[in-house]
Structure 1
Amino acid sequence: MGYDTAHKTDPASVVPEEWGGMWFLKDELETNELGFTILELETNELGFTILELEPDGKGKEHDETATGQEELYYVVSGEIEVDLTDREETVTLAEDDVLRLDPDEPRQIHNRGDERAKLVLVGAPL
């Protein structure tokens, strides 16, 4: 087969259900014997994640220094805040906003709003 497909809930969520959910789809879209995925990219280098956060939910604080991976956060619905922890700065993102982060930028995503937020997170090494 020349492509792969995945549903966001094929892998187990890494965020507790009461906060929403976070599904890493990179392993679900591994290249097949022909070397293609549904994205027509080798997912050995590209990370694709869906994150849903309930009000008061949060992701883990982290950076990607060890992987050298920059990340893009695209807000599908809702509003989130990204705390840039070393800077003591917060970036607010609403529906259709995008944020790009350098690998060494420590960050933590929060949903401090009143509705569930849904994001697509994409990462790849520089």
Structure 2
Amino acid sequence: MGYDTASKSDVESVVPEDAGGMWFLKDALGADQLGLTVLELEPGERGMEHDETGTGQEEVYYVVEGTVEVELEDETVTLESEDAIRLDPDETRQIHNSGNERTMLVLAGAPL
């Protein structure tokens, strides 16, 4: 078969439900290099501050619903619904839902 399908309901969230939820779909899809994650954040919640220097992967964040701030080393970038950002592996980043509504993002990452 030349394709695989998956749903976020196929995997367990790695973030507590009261904070939102985070579902890693890479393994469920059988992907070799590309990581795909669905992230939902309740108002006031933050994702984990991190970089991808160790993995060497770039990441793309696409906002499906809501508005988030992506806090970088030297600036903060505000993304609204249908906006995207690409991040180099060595860029420290943290996603923050500073709005009043739950947000949903799709995160993709792959080695350079």
- Normalised to the residue count of structure 1, the TM-score between the two structures is 0.85
Aligned-partner Cα distance in 1 for 2:21–2:15: 5
Structure 1 or 2, whichever has the larger Rg, is 1
Selected match of 2:38 from 31, 47, 50: 50
Selected match of 1:102 from 75, 84, 88: 88
- Normalised to the residue count of structure 2, the TM-score between the two structures is 0.95
Q: How does 1:1-126 map to 2 (within 5 A)?
A: 1-30=1-30, 43-84=31-72, 86-87=73-74, 89-126=75-112
Question: Aligned residues, how many?
Answer: 112
Retained in 2: the 8 A contact 1:15–1:59? no
Quote the offset at 1:116 in angstroms.
0.6
Aligned-partner Cα distance in 2 for 1:3–1:53: 30
Task: Report the RMSD for the aligned CA atoms in angstroms.
Answer: 0.9
Quote the offset at 1:2 in angstroms.
3.6
Runs ≥4 residues deviating over 6 A: none
Higher helix content, 1 or 2: 2
Higher strand content, 1 or 2: 2
Unaligned 5+ segments in structure 1 are 31-42
Instruction: Determine what percentage of the aligned residue pairs are the same residue.
Output: 68
Unaligned 5+ segments in structure 2 are none
